[in-house]
Every structure is written in C-alpha cells, then in structure tokens.
Amino acid sequence: MEVSELTKREQFVLTSIIEKFVVSATPVGSKFIESGCNGAISSATIRNVMSDLEERGFVKQPHTSAGRMPTDKGYRFYVDSLMAVQPLSLQEKNTIYNTILTVSRDVGDVLEAATQTLARISSQLGLILAPRFYDGIFEKIELIPITYKKILVVLSIETGFVKTITLEIDKEISRKRLEDTARIINERLSGLSLKEIKKTIDKRLDGILGRENNFIDFVINSSSKIFSELSPFDLHLGGTANIMSLPEFSDQQSVVRIMELIDDKEILIHLINDENNVDLIPENNIRITIGEENKKDLVSHCSLITTTYEIGNISGTIGIIGPTRMHYSRLVALVDYMAKVLTDVFTMNKE
C-alpha cells in the first residue's frame, strides 16, 4: 500500500488509533485523538475520518457506541507506511548482549538463553530456529567418555558452530580408542559438508586397517544421529505464559488454538521459515505477517515478526509471535538487534 492512499489527517487518526489500542486493548474514541492533537482537529471531524477509515477497511467498530480498533489492513498500512522503528534502550541492549555472551559455546545453550531473553523483553512468544546444520562444513569431531557406557560427541563446523550429543554404547571404550577414532574421522572427513558426510560416510571410512578396533563402525551406524538434519527439537520456544496472560487469549477457544500451535513445532518451524511472508524492511531481511495473511488458521489472529541470523555460510531464524495488537515498532527493533547479536557472538566463537 502506498502512503498516498491516505491523507495526512487520515494517517494521523489511524496512527493514533493503533498506538493507543496497542497499549490499552480497548477501542479508541474521537475524544482521545482530539486531546492528542491539542484540539487542532475537532471531535466531529475525527469521527468523520474514523467513519471513512472504517468504510475502507482500515478500522472496525465492535458495536455502535464504541470507538474504533485496527483491522489487519490497518496494521499492514501502519507497518508499511507510517511506523517509525523505536530503538531499544542501552540497558536492553546490554542485557541481551551480556546474557548471550556469558553462556557456553554450545549453540543449543546460546539459542536457549537468547530465546528466553527475547520472550522476556518482548512479553510475547519468542522463537529461535537453529541453523540448518546440514549446510555446514565439517571441521572436527571429539569423542569424550562420560561414564562406563556413555560418550559425549562434540561436533564442530568451520563457522564455529558446536553441536553436542550423548551416545549410549554397549561396553566401555578407552579414551585412546576414542581419540584414535576421532583422529581418523577428522583426517577423512574434514572439509566436507555434513550433508555429504551423512550420505557417503561408509564409503569414505572404508578400508581402514584395524577398523574393528577403532570404533569406526559404531560411528557409522550412529551417523544419522551425529550428523542429523533439522528436527522439531532444533526450535527453541519461550514465553508461553506471556501469551496466555494477554486479553486476546482469555476465552477458551483462543486458549485451545494457541496451545495447539505451541504444541506443534512442525507448524511453528514452517511459519517462521515461510519465505512468502511480507518484507517489512528488506535491507535488514525483517519479515512480518499480520493476522489472516498467515496461511494457518491457528495463527490467523496472530502476527509474526521474523529475521535471520548468520553463522558463517549457514543461517537460522529468529522470531516473535503474538496477537495482531502488538508493539510493532519496538518488536521489530528487538528482533533485528537479537539477530545481530547472535551473528556477532557466533562470529566471535569462530575466531
């Protein structure tokens, strides 16, 4: 939508309705808008403008005597043409940076801390999708004994991304055998993509002398887990209590819908990875969908703000889900900054 679609006066009234409604969650009347412009526009004129905006689908009136509230179309015009992004405070930036910087190098720990911070500051549902691990270039593997029948696998890719998993084994394996196995794997596989390794690992590790003594067969048989592709468990989610406390989710039907959404990680992954979402700030790769722009019925009453963060040649997705009545100007800045911090932190890990 072009900003010229509305007159300056109509833009002012629509902005006033949206910014007040986002805070109050109650329909906005003409008297409030009149007070906001110090009487420069009469209440009667404002009512006429509101009526025109309603006829054109930008606002709606829940009942005859009520004020107006934004529609999906009104929010879309606002974020595309009227909104000024509200920068985060220095304190908020420091909180985000220090929280993420002080956790371990493991990507899962970093993303979990970032998700909880995102949810806490936004007061919405925060989501972070781990990078597509398959696209990374293998650097090295470490096999570390934990207990009699458990080993820790530490997998590093060239971007500095570290993935750790625990494997069960049938019998105790000496540290030397584990180190020898890791050395052989690193010599044979370093520099290959994880996707290629998973497809060809048996052939690439074939012909190793004394293979039965080097724990190689176990690694090959466990390769689907070690070099695993994206799964629902790579989605980090936080802030369920935030969503449930909002007035939009106070009735039973809304509660059921949002709980179904939260429980279905496959749908959430599809939603925040949907490249058909509308570009809000293309130069920053910020995307936003509002209400019924979302293809899934479970989120037809919600908005999503998403962007990507980078770890070398691979990327993940970060986002916020909440009601259409959300503080877009502030949350766009939050999602954008969180993505930049994650990119910075993983770049430092690489170095």
pLDDT, tens digit, 9 for 90 and up, residues 69-107: 999 999 999 999 999 999 999 999 999 999 888 876 677
- For the chain, residues classed under CATH 1.10.10.10 are 3-82
pLDDT at position 299: 86
Backbone angles phi, psi at 30, to 5 degrees: -65, -30
Q: Where in the chain is the domain with CATH 3.30.450.40?
A: 90-132+231-350
CATH code assigned to 90-132+231-350: 3.30.450.40
Of the candidate ranges 66-75, 84-93, 157-166, 193-202, the one whose mean pLDDT is the lowest: 157-166
Residue range(s) of every CATH 3.30.390.60 domain in the chain:
134-226
CB 230 within 8 A of CB 107: no
Residue type present at position 283: E
Instruction: Tell me, yes or no, if the pTM score tops 0.95.
Output: no
Given a contact cutoff of 8 angstroms between Cβ atoms, the answer to whether 317 and 311 are in contact is no
**Is residue 120 scored above 80 in pLDDT?**
yes
pLDDT for the residue 288: 93
Dihedral sign computed on CA atoms, order 157, 163, 197, 270 = negative
Q: How many CB atoms lie within 10 A of CB 257?
A: 18
CB 27 within 8 A of CB 67: yes
User: Which class is domain 3-82?
Assistant: mainly alpha
Q: How confident is the model at residue 173 (pLDDT cuts 50, 70, 90)?
A: confident
- What are 254's two structure tokens? 């809304």
Separation of alpha carbons 165 and 163, rounded Å:
7
Q: What is the pLDDT of residue 231?
A: 52
Q: Name the one residue in this structure whose structure tokens are 């993935």.
A: 163
- Per CATH, which fold does 134-226 belong to? Enolase-like; domain 1 (3.30.390)
